[in-house]
């Protein structure tokens, strides 16, 4: 998605060789008008897929899922939680995912009642790096007896191999911008 690449280059910040920071429109401040274009693009990429539900992870993923839902006939959005609030008193599915930027391991949790057997579930997230979060979400979908309709990421760090890992499991993976290399502040797209 050319507009996204341009936005990353003009507003993003490359740190070292691993991190691209896009807090100006995706991870801290949200440019909702631009995110709506992202939602429309996911709508196109997965236009031939049946999508009964959209699954993401808190926090930034929520914005992505919300702007995408209208393009999937307002399929319900479910966001996995990283910590269970005291009101989460019913059964839930749980899978572990490591956060690259936070250096922590999160146990992603989804209440059982919000994923049903046979549902086609589209997984959306802001970043795809090693694929840990997507794998965890896909595990949760499969624990529920539901099916992964596809996996979409706004920005993929291609050099971390996540999409290869996910495609090897048979999933359709769509990343709207794939970064091949970050070197001394310079971002190279695939």
The site for a second copy (CB under 8 A) is made up of 15, 19, 21, 23-24, 27-33, 35, 58-60, 62-63, 65-67, 69-70, 74, 76-79, 81, 83, 85-89, 99, 101-103, 110-111, 114
Pairing of strands 53-57, 92-99: unpaired
Query: Is the separation of the CB atoms in 79 and 69 below 8 Å?
Result: no
CA distance 7 to 127: 15
Q: Which long-range contacts (CB under 8 A, 24 or more apart) does 46-50 make?
A: 46/72, 46/122, 46/149, 46/150, 46/152, 46/172, 46/174, 49/120, 49/122, 49/149, 49/150, 49/172, 50/120, 50/149
Query: Could you tell me how many residues make up the chain?
Result: 190
Instruction: Name the minimum Å distance from CB 169 to a second copy.
Output: 26
Instruction: Name the minimum Å distance from CB 161 to a second copy.
Output: 21
Query: Is the separation of the CB atoms in 99 and 59 below 8 Å?
Result: no
**Cβ-proximal residues to 168 (8 Å cutoff; 6+ apart), any chain:** none
């Amino acid at each position: 998605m050319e507009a996204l690449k341009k936005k990353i280059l003009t507003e993003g910040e490359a740190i070292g060789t691993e991190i691209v920071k896009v807090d100006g429109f995706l991870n801290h401040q949200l440019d909702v008008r631009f995110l709506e274009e992202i939602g429309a693009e996911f709508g196109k990429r997965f236009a031939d897929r049946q999508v009964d539900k959209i699954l993401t992870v808190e926090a930034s993923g929520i914005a992505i899922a919300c702007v995408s839902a209208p393009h999937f006939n307002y399929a319900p959005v479910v966001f996995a939680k990283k910590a269970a609030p005291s009101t989460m008193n019913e059964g839930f599915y749980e899978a572990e995912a490591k956060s690259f930027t936070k250096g922590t391991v999160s146990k992603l949790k989804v209440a059982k009642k919000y994923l049903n057997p046979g549902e086609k579930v589209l997984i959306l997230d802001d970043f795809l790096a090693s694929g840990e979060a997507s794998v965890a979400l896909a595990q949760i979908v499969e624990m529920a007896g539901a099916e992964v309709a596809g996996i979409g990421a706004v920005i993929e760090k291609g050099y971390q191999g996540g999409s290869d890992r996910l495609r090897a499991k048979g999933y359709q993976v769509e990343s709207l911008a794939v970064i091949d290399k970050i070197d001394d502040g310079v971002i190279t797209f695939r």
